[in-house]
């Protein structure tokens, strides 16, 4: 087992080194596949068969199909300027700029688009004025924009994690919800509480809150309905989204040309190819059998198994990103920890989320620091204290869940 663990460690280190050297994740995973085949002596015929199966197996098709559908819905919302219209309605409806800074980025965050962070930046900048410094504005924008990414099944990382575990979407979202509340509160305690409510209608401005709420609902109902149906009916996103998209086409009166254009641009081959490569790596790693033997390695360790995997997940995600760590580590953790379930998945995915907020490989951080003209280090100065507190609370939460057998 010691030898097999060393082989796994070598593969893991190669992935991290390649990503740290700013090579593409795709190239790092291809190298990892080749290295796994060589180190574990997998026959070329078996390796080829596994890779071909990975292209059309159910899990791969579900992840790729869901991503294409989510991207199609995103194209509709961008084309109809629903995000900008919703932001204006939210300002008039809440009358509280702190709520605008929280709600707008969180809702916009349901869309897996790095460019959406700039929309959030404009909202936060306008809402806070001169009452937050530029570093705080950058943090608030990035932090609240990504909270949805910690739990929403509209994200590829969440879909990937759910596809390689037996945890249902409904279970995951339900048990992640308390940690989402913690994230919302921490951002307020550290920075937003210094703001006054701020927004007030001018004397000559009449705000019809009923109309503003209708406008907000008109803009955001596809996202809200999608999440509600997924959770309430315990359905996968790929089963819900076609229905949502058809309704959106009708409600927003899309022309046939628009539908065809959106369908064409929703197929992002780079992301699809990367997903297939990740699934190939997962299947080949599973074939080695090394995953099932990991419990023997941790049997005599003084560090609790969940903590050991948590540390690896956190540090690995900072360096190599979330997707590679999800594929590499979650199967290992579920094979090693007895009765692993929703609690463990929440713990590891929340750590992955936290690590991405301080990762230099996170593209959104590069975009938002450029928008506000601050350095990555300035953003980290505001982010790291919040993340440290969150990780401490998260660890206690996992211990509580595991105590109840979750």
Percent of the chain with pLDDT over 90: 30
Per-residue confidence (pLDDT) for residue 178, from 0 to 100: 96
Residues 6+ apart with CB under 8 A from 375: 369
How confident is residue 6, by pLDDT bands cut at 50, 70 and 90?
confident
CB 313 within 8 A of CB 329: yes
Whether residue 29 has pLDDT greater than 90: no
**Cα-based distances in Å from 130 to 88, 124, 195, 369:** 20, 11, 10, 18
Question: Do the beta carbons of residue 329 and residue 384 sit within 8 Å?
Answer: no
Q: Is residue 400 over pLDDT 80? A: yes
Q: Is 300 exposed, middle or buried (0-12, 13-18, 19+ CB in 10 A)?
A: exposed
Express each pLDDT in 116-152 by its tens digit. 777 788 788 878 888 889 999 999 999 999 999 999 8
Convert the pLDDT of each residue in 303-319 to its tens digit.
888 998 898 888 878 86
Least confident of 3-7, 112-116, 211-215: 112-116
Check pLDDT > 80 for residue 87. no
Residue 215: CB partners within 8 Å, gap ≥ 6? 85, 86, 88, 89
Residue 361, phi then psi, degrees to nearest 5: -90, 0
Domain definitions of the chain by residue range: 57-199+207-268+302-403
Residues 6 or more apart whose Cβ sits within 8 Å of residue 288: 4, 36, 40, 42
Count helices and strands in the chain by DSSP H and E runs: 20, 0
Mind listing the pLDDT tens digit for each residue in 162-179?
888 878 888 999 999 999
Task: Give the residue-averaged pLDDT of 52-72.
Answer: 85
- Separation between Cα atoms, residue 153 and residue 142, nearest integer Å: 19
Q: Report how far residue 251's alpha carbon sits from residue 239's, in angstroms, rounded to the nearest whole number.
A: 20
Report pLDDT digits (tens) over 325-338.
Answer: 888 889 888 888 88
- Over residues 374-401, the mean pLDDT reads 93
Mean pLDDT computed over every residue of the chain:
85
* Confidence check: pLDDT of 10 > 60: yes
DSSP state at residue 158 = H
**Cβ neighbours of residue 297 closer than 8 Å, sequence gap 6 or more:** 1, 2, 5, 336
97 close to 125: Cβ distance less than 8 angstroms: no
All residues at 6 or more sequence positions from 33 whose CB lies less than 8 Å from its CB, including other chains: 47, 51, 277, 280, 281, 284
Average pLDDT over residues 289-316: 76
**Where is mean pLDDT largest: 6-10, 176-180, 213-217, 313-317?**
176-180
pLDDT tens string 194-205: 887 665 555 556
Q: What is the pLDDT of residue 181?
A: 97
With cut-offs at 50, 70 and 90, classify the pLDDT of residue 248. very high
Place of tokens 């064409």: 264
């Amino acid at each position: 087992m010691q030898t097999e663990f060393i082989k796994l460690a070598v593969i893991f280190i190669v992935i991290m080194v390649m990503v740290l050297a700013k090579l593409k994740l795709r190239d790092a995973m291809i190298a990892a596949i080749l290295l796994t085949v060589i180190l574990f002596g997998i026959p070329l015929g078996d390796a080829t068969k596994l890779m071909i199966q990975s292209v059309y197996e159910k899990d791969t098709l579900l992840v790729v199909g869901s991503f294409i559908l989510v991207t199609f819905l995103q194209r509709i919302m961008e084309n109809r300027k629903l995000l900008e219209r919703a932001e204006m309605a939210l300002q008039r409806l809440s009358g509280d700029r702190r709520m605008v800074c929280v709600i707008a980025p969180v809702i916009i965050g349901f869309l897996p688009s790095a460019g959406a962070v700039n929309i959030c930046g404009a909202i936060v900048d306008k809402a806070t004025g001169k009452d937050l410094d530029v570093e705080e504005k950058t943090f608030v924008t990035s932090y609240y924009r990504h909270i949805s990414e910690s739990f929403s099944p509209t994200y590829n990382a969440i879909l990937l994690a759910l596809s390689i575990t037996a945890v249902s979407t409904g279970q995951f979202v339900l048990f992640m919800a308390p940690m989402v509340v913690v994230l919302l509160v921490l951002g307020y305690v550290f920075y937003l509480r210094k703001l006054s409510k701020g927004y007030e209608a001018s004397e000559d401005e009449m705000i019809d809150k009923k109309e503003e709420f209708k406008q907000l609902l008109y803009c955001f109902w596809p996202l809200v309905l999608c999440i509600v149906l997924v959770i309430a009916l315990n359905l996968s996103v790929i089963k819900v989204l076609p229905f949502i998209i058809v309704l959106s086409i009708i409600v927003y009166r899309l022309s046939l040309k628009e539908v065809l254009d959106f369908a064409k641009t929703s197929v992002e081959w780079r992301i699809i190819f990367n997903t297939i490569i990740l699934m190939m790596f997962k299947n080949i790693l599973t074939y080695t059998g090394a995953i099932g033997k990991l419990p023997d390695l941790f049997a005599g360790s003084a560090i609790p198994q969940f903590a050991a995997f948590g540390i690896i997940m956190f540090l690995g995600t900072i360096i190599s990103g979330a997707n590679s760590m999800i594929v590499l580590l979650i199967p290992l953790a579920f094979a090693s920890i007895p009765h692993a379930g929703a609690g463990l998945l929440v713990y590891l995915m929340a750590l992955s989320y936290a690590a991405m907020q301080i990762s230099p490989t996170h593209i959104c951080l590069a975009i938002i620091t450029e928008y506000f003209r601050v350095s990555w280090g300035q953003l980290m100065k505001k982010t790291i204290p919040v993340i440290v507190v969150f990780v401490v609370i998260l660890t206690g939460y996992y211990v509580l869940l595991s105590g109840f057998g979750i």
